[in-house]
Amino acid sequence: MNDTVVVITGASAGIGAALAELLGSRGAALVLAARRSERLQAVAARCGDRVLAVTADVTRREDVRRVRDEALARYGRIDVWVNNAGQGISRTPSALTDEDIDLMVLQNVKSALYGMQEVLPHFRERNAGHVINVSSMLGRIPYVVARSAYSGAKHFLNALTANFRAEVQQTHPGIQFSLVSPGVVATEFGLNALHGGPDSRSFSDAQPVREVAEVIADVIASRRPDVYTRRGSRERVAAYISTLAEDP
């Protein structure tokens, strides 16, 4: 990890903050982006000397472009871009509004799309680079009714990631696009959901955030394309798929 330049969005708390601290301890050069400047600076202070904190709203393309430009100005290159920013929702599908859907797509799909599109020219110049999109088990199995719009957005992100990989690797095989899918993680995710929600840290089966960060760090090293953060997740998804529509 030494000297690897990593951009992390949504880095002021949760998975992003834990990943930043872990990679910083392993010698990575970091660019951390988030909207909450004070919290972002506090995370940056725990990540060593090679860290740049950029206050930015990654639902705005111009802010994402600025994060990219400031990263290149500081380090001269970007090796890994982690699209971690996102938001949940607590609303049943029959009650969803146009605004709910638009916000879920903006926070969970467009923010990642902007990151992929804005860093891609730099990666293509080098035929090297790695995008990691943080998705969710809800992007595989829509098992929480109140999270339906979030689940749909993560399904969208999964398809977008796979298709980016297929398109780009036709001409630039040195560029990888990886998907990481956690389940419930012990963070403030639930509290920060649109329309509120239970504290994810209160669930007995919530995965420690450090474990998720360790998985993402391993994906940086291994460049595996599609990874769950908990054992047994692949079997759980396969069991769900087996219950879906049958062939005629």
Do the beta carbons of residue 68 and residue 74 sit within 8 Å? no
DSSP alpha helix (H) spans, the chain: 14-25, 37-45, 61-75, 98-105, 111-126, 148-169, 209-222, 233-241
Q: Is 108 helix (H, G, I), strand (E, B) or coil?
A: helix
Please report which helix (H) or strand (E) contains residue 130, including its range. strand 129-134
Give the DSSP letter string of 30-51: EEEEES-HHHHHHHHHTS-SSE
Choose the catalytic residue: 143, 150, 228, 240. Answer: 150
Q: Give catalytic status of residue 150 as yes or no.
A: yes
**How wide is the angle at C-alpha 240 spanned by C-alphas 19 and 102, nearest 5°?**
60
Active site residues: 150
